Amino acid sequence: MLTDDNPPAAEELRTNGSYTSVLLSVAQNQPATDDIRGLILKVLATGILQNISPLPPLTAASAVDTEDEIVFPLLQPLLTSISLLEASQQIQALVEKQVGESFLQLFSVSLRI
């Protein structure tokens, strides 16, 4: 598993050119506009490349500036297409709904006791 707690996994990805080549290929792929799975895979590959950067100079992927060439071009349109006000209002409504449901469950359990 690739986590901060597992440096050997990151080092294996970083030093194995075939892994970085596949990740780079996925990150540079252009999925169809309605292909959510393809977009999610691209975001995951981009995140992995960002997490294991800098790549060793001997790999083909090392010449790619992952931040400027992959991460920012991918995430910038996604982030600018989201209304932060609308998203925060939706999150607030979901939290209020969840709290209300939890309170009702707690209240109904206490009435049975």
Tokens of 61: 């992927």
DSSP state at residue 61? G
Taking CA 15 as the corner, what is the angle to CA 11 and CA 16, rounded to the nearest 5 degrees?
A: 115
Average pLDDT over the chain reads: 78
Residue at 1: amino acid letter: M
Are 49 and 25 in contact by the 8 Å Cβ rule? The answer is: no
How many percent of the chain have pLDDT more than 90?
A: 0
Chain centroid, CA 37 distance in Å: 12
Q: Is the pTM of this model over 0.75?
A: no
DSSP state at residue 22? H
Most confident of the ranges 26-30, 51-55, 61-65:
26-30
Q: d(Cα 4, Cα 20) in Å, to the nearest integer?
A: 18
**Which pLDDT does position 7 carry in this prediction?**
82
Decide which of 61 and 77 is more confident.
77
**Which pLDDT does position 82 carry in this prediction?**
77
Decide which of 18 and 63 is more confident.
18
Q: d(Cα 42, Cα 112) in Å, to the nearest integer?
A: 50
> Band of the pLDDT at 108, cuts 50, 70, 90?
low
Domain ranges of the chain: 1-81, 83-113
**Which pLDDT does position 35 carry in this prediction?**
83
